[in-house]
Amino acid sequence: MVYVVGHRGAAGLVPENTIKGFCYAIDLGVDYVECDVHLSRDKQLVVMHDTTVNRTTNGHGALRDLMAARIRMLDAGEGEQVPTLDEVLETVRGEVHLLIELKGIGVEQAAVEAVKAQGMEEEVTFTSFALDRLATVRAMGDQYRLGAILPNPSEFDFARAVEMGAVGIQVHYANLNFRIVHAAYEAGLEVLAWNPDTWREQQAMIALGVDGVSTNRPDVLLNHLGRRVLDREVEAKAVEITPVDSAEGAETFLHDAVAHDATEQDITQQDTPVDYAIDDHDLNENDEWVSDFWD
């Protein structure tokens, strides 16, 4: 059975990277939640995706220029504080596995020390687009789980992930195909698809044979899988997964699903689009999204 990851909690439903969002995702019945960590000016671990507080709070400024106490005074949505990593660890302990995406230079050691201090090494996987950051974590011990985020992986990326002992790779769903999934399995790597947010997209990922799906709408996936826990008054209806017998069939299904959701309004889509900025380098000095990743 595919495992379900609540991306930044449940970013399509509840303010992202907040304790409220993580609790909501856990109550829905996810298997994992994912968060992002940065260092504040005073080297405290704060949970936020962007390099600035501009998009997700009522404040302004770069995280690296703000003291943690100041960041904590901001409203991260619906009255929520920007959480610390310690708070997130306490929230998920014994409930779900946590994916911690390492953001910003120098965050690796502080994040590892926080996880180690709480004795949660087996409940956490460290992830990053920057494989050098994962290599830094690996140098701190073989006990840490690593996940390489590879938007469109090459053979070199696979080799590097294997070399550093990663447990798996995370690939953007629009770039996934049978060849990548097969190559990953041949290398002994799990495959996590991110971030399909409609059922057709999610179903396409399952048909390709991925191990897990990370999504801003875990409610959609869990509901269709018949595993939704929260809001039991909403009937959970399991939908049959379309069988795929060949690489060609899987990729055709994926192409059709992505094309469908790019042209038709789906009832599962929220009114306000989720921000999909990929990493620190995708924002310029004016906090404008400059990535060409989607082209």
Catalytic residues: 7, 49
Q: Are 283 and 52 a contacting pair, CB within 8 Å?
A: yes
Count of CB atoms within 10 A of residue 285's CB? 6
CA pair distance 219, 48, nearest whole angstrom: 22
CA pair distance 171, 178, nearest whole angstrom: 12
Q: Are 228 and 21 a contacting pair, CB within 8 Å?
A: no
Please confirm whether the linkage preceding 195 is cis (ω < 30° from 0).
yes
DSSP letters of 233-256?
TS-----PPPP--SHHHHHHHHHH
Closest listed residue to residue 77, CA positions, set 161, 144, 158, 19:
19
CA pair distance 257, 190, nearest whole angstrom: 23
266: its two tokens: 């789906």
Residues 6+ apart with CB under 8 A from 156: none
Q: Are 80 and 71 a contacting pair, CB within 8 Å?
A: no
